[in-house]
Amino acid sequence: MYAQLVETGVKRVKDLEEMTPEERAFQERIDAEIKIEPKNWMPDAYRQTLIRQISQHAHSEIVGMLPEGNWVTRAPTLKRKLQLMAKIQDEAGHGMYLYSAMETLGADRDAEIDKLHSGKAKYSSIFNYPTLNWADMGAVGWLVDGAAIVNQVVLQRTSYGPYSRAMIRICKEESFHQRQGYEILLTMMRHGNQAQKDMVQDAINRLWWPALMMFGPSDADSPNSAQSMAWKIKRMSNDDLRQRFIDQTVPQLEFLGCTAPDPDLKWNEERGHYDFGQIQWQEFYDVLKGNGPCNRERVSTRRKALEDGQWVREAAVAHAAKRQQKQNAA
């Protein structure tokens, strides 16, 4: 999940009788599975929740370039380098696509990016973990993009049209990244030496729990979920998505010949699902609040990029104005 804790600002979900006629018409449209489009009336809280969620999602794509940028200069073969570069390029594209979707709600891209840089806006907690060996590039593709896909596949049916359409496009590329990531790990496990196999297991050990945290707090601690579900912004609960991810990922883990860093992980015949251990929620909230291993570096790198680039953007604007002037004069 790339937007794992989104405030709705709503304490209690209203039922139809309590709503104004506008609100009721809106809710009925949602209930009938008709997409909401930019020019339609929508409750302000719906608009603000979506701005928060889509911007968080966009920020995650952009900050998410950094852990991979850390290894793109050190990729071990030309093929791997090309794959990683193509992936990073896709992510920049996803970020731009999502910012555009967000702008259909009347939000301003630069203002939202300012919130990211001042620490007010969040991005996925996963990108605050460091990438420490090459296998992390495989594990990020497989686990992190894998978790994102589980979430995004469902978001293809989200109630806001522009967001839904963004997800449909983005999912196609993400699935490709996930397969590539898995193939990186599989190659190292099948054809690698012991040092490479150790790298793979080490990457999984470090990224397994942070990947599970991508789905957000457990349903019991997710007060904003009810409203998001009623608005059909969210279509499945955090815990259901997390369970779906674990159920589909464990067989892939076994196929690799690796293990999860979770002694409680085992198949539950009765439930038809994997049981798994307790997530360290304190760590989750710490990372989300800015106290994770790389929060400081990630935000300051992005802030510095924007500051260092200011004169470049100003030049582009000034040049465009000059060119326009010349055209008008001609």
Partner 1 sequence: MPDNKNDLIEYLLRLGDNALINGQRLCEWCGRAPALEEEMALMNVGLDLVGQARNWYEYAAELLADGRDADQLAFRRDERAFRNTLLVEQPNGDYAVTTAKLFLFDAWHLHTLQALTASSDARIAGIAAKGLKEVTYHLRRSGEWVERLGDGTEQSRQRMLAGIDEVWRFTNDLLSSDEIQQRLAAAGIAADATAVAAAWQASVEQVFERASLPVPPPASYFYLDGKRGLHTEHLGILLAEMQFLQRAYPDATW
Q: Which amino acid type is present at position 277?
A: G
Residue whose CB is less far from partner 1, 3 or 184:
184
Annotate 196-244 with three-state secondary structure: HHHHHHHHHHHHHHHHHHCCCCCHHHCCCHHHHHHCCCCCCCHHHHHHH
Residue whose CB is less far from partner 1, 23 or 183:
183
Residue of 139, 109, 140 whose CA lies nearest to 127: 140
* Smallest distance, partner 1 to C-beta of residue 87, A: 9
* Smallest distance, partner 1 to C-beta of residue 8, A: 28
DSSP per residue, 131-173: --STHHHHHIIIIIHHHHHHHHHHHTT-SBHHHHHHHHHHHHH
* Smallest distance, partner 1 to C-beta of residue 63, A: 8
- Are 36 and 161 in contact by the 8 Å Cβ rule? The answer is yes
Radius of gyration of the chain (CA): 21
Residue whose CB is less far from partner 1, 127 or 284:
127
Residue whose CB is less far from partner 1, 48 or 196:
196
Task: Please give the C-alpha separations between residue 80 and each of 77, 84, 85, 89, 210, in angstroms, as whole numbers.
Answer: 5, 6, 9, 14, 24
Residue of 150, 214, 141 whose CA lies nearest to 179: 141
* Smallest distance, partner 1 to C-beta of residue 325, A: 12
* Smallest distance, partner 1 to C-beta of residue 91, A: 9
Residue whose CB is less far from partner 1, 76 or 119:
76
Residue whose CB is less far from partner 1, 289 or 304:
304
CA dihedral for 86, 90, 96, 99, sign (positive or negative) = negative
Quote the DSSP letter at residue 42: -
Quote the DSSP letter at residue 36: B
* Smallest distance, partner 1 to C-beta of residue 326, A: 10
> Residue 278: what are its φ and ψ, rounded to 5°?
-80, 130
Residue whose CB is less far from partner 1, 16 or 305:
305
Quote the DSSP letter at residue 288: I
- Who contacts 258 (Cβ-Cβ below 8 Å, separation ≥6)? 185, 189, 200, 201, 204
In this structure, the chain runs to a length of 330
Residue whose CB is less far from partner 1, 5 or 102:
102
Residue whose CB is less far from partner 1, 221 or 307:
307
Q: How far apart are the first and last CA of the chain?
A: 52
Q: Which residues bind partner 1 (CB under 8 A)?
A: 62, 65-66, 68-69, 72-82, 85-86, 88-89, 92-93, 95-96, 99, 134, 184, 187-188, 191-193, 195-196, 301-302, 304-306, 308-319, 322
* Smallest distance, partner 1 to C-beta of residue 103, A: 13
* Smallest distance, partner 1 to C-beta of residue 243, A: 33
* Smallest distance, partner 1 to C-beta of residue 70, A: 9
